[in-house]
Amino acid sequence: MANPVLKWAGGKRQLLDELYGRFPRSYDHFHEPFFGGGALFFDIEPDNGTINDTNSRLINFYKQVRDRPRELIEFLQTFDDPEAEADSDRQFAETNRKGKEIKNYYYQQRELFNNRPYGDDYDELEEAALLLYLNRTCYNGLYRENSSGGFNVPIGRYSNPDWVRKKEIRKASRVLENTDIRNSDFEYVLDEAEEGDLVYFDPPYEPMSPTAYFTDYSAEGFGQDDQKRLLNVAQELDQNGVNVILSNSGVMHEMYDDAGFYVEVEGATRSINSDGENRDEVDEIIATNVAPESRQKAGQQGLADF
């Protein structure tokens, strides 16, 4: 199995056993319309299928991992310690776009990473390398964008951060080799998924409370109308004979139960939280149309029939 290359909020490594427990005995292609860090995908290493995310910089990253792993690794090896002085040969060595002082190398790279959302020229390989570098050196591995799409997470504190991730990139590149990588709305899966395929939905979660903003990972957000639209897509896939598994916050239990899905509550500890002392277990649901008698046995994870 491969390991995720990126840290990503809402990652599913702690729910893998519960997800595998809902897998059908066999399936054809695997589709993941809300990819994020891809913990499930990299664990099962599907031979083909599709992955998708609305975050264009994240999708560019996976395309570079798939198509240019050697060049990406070489680029990552050129980066300096985040606390080092800014590179005087590069843009934003002294001030950022707003004229504020650039304190160190990290904040210069963060400003360069934001070239795309602010309308400046950017290189796709460099952007991918910057995403991984910032992911490994920013505060708590968090990915967050402001309303303009600019990445705005401050520097983190690490004694020896590994931002090259050579082994992980090489392995991920092989796993992604025959995967269609998309940057579109999740409804694309209605045209791609066929009878007998498996679709795993891991959308931005509906908040459990007014202070829980599970959808603030990108400028676009994911609101209640999107949640309802996702349920409609899941129902249509079910009618088309496609296997569907979905995870979400506990407040979505009634919606999927009323729609006829098998829904159960699972506990999961969040690995990314703005308060490092408050990574408590929260209720999540797993909903599926795979009947209990049609599921694979425990311990069969990854034995898909491609």
Question: Which pLDDT does position 282 carry in this prediction?
Answer: 63
Domain-embedded: residue 27: yes
Rg of the chain in Å (alpha carbons): 20
Domain-embedded: residue 48: yes
CA diameter of the chain: 64
Shared domain check, 213 and 120: no
Listed in sequence order, the residues at least 6 apart from 34 whose beta carbon sits closer than 8 Å to its beta carbon are 52, 53, 186, 201, 202, 203, 204
Shared domain check, 159 and 192: no
What integer best gives the mean pLDDT of the chain?
A: 90
Run of H or E residues at 32 = strand 30-32
Question: Which pLDDT does position 269 carry in this prediction?
Answer: 54
Question: Which pLDDT does position 14 carry in this prediction?
Answer: 85
Shared domain check, 102 and 45: no
Shared domain check, 75 and 29: no
The tens digit of pLDDT for each residue in 272-288 reads: 444 444 445 568 999 99
The tens digit of pLDDT for each residue in 26-59 reads: 999 999 999 999 999 999 999 999 999 999 999 9
Domain-embedded: residue 177: no
- Transcribe 258-278 into DSSP letters: HTT-EEEEEEEE-S--SSTT-
Whole-angstrom Cα distance, residue 158 to residue 169? 21
Question: Which pLDDT does position 185 carry in this prediction?
Answer: 97
What is the token pair recorded at 29?
């292609």
Shared domain check, 193 and 234: yes
Shared domain check, 283 and 254: yes
Shared domain check, 72 and 49: no
Domain-embedded: residue 305: no
At 12, is the pLDDT very low, low, confident or very high (cuts 50, 70, 90)? confident
Domain count, the chain: 2
At 219, is the pLDDT very low, low, confident or very high (cuts 50, 70, 90)? very low
Between β-strands 198-201 and 281-288, what pairing exists: parallel, antiparallel or unpaired? unpaired
Domain-embedded: residue 187: yes
Question: Which pLDDT does position 274 carry in this prediction?
Answer: 44
Say yes or no to pLDDT of 221 above 80: no
Calculate mean pLDDT across residues 208-216: 47
Shared domain check, 195 and 47: yes
The more confidently predicted of residues 108 and 301 is 108
Domain-embedded: residue 6: no
Q: What is the DSSP letter of 64?
A: H
Shared domain check, 283 and 134: no
Say yes or no to pLDDT of 142 above 90: yes
Shared domain check, 69 and 42: no
Residue 49 Rama label (left phi>0; alpha psi -120 to 50; beta): left
Shared domain check, 110 and 43: no
Last-in-domain residue among 165, 197, 219: 165
Domain extent at residue 37: 13-53+183-294
Question: Which pLDDT does position 302 carry in this prediction?
Answer: 46
Q: Evaluate whether 264 touches 10 at the Cβ level (below 8 Å).
A: no
CATH code of the domain covering residue 35: 3.40.50.150
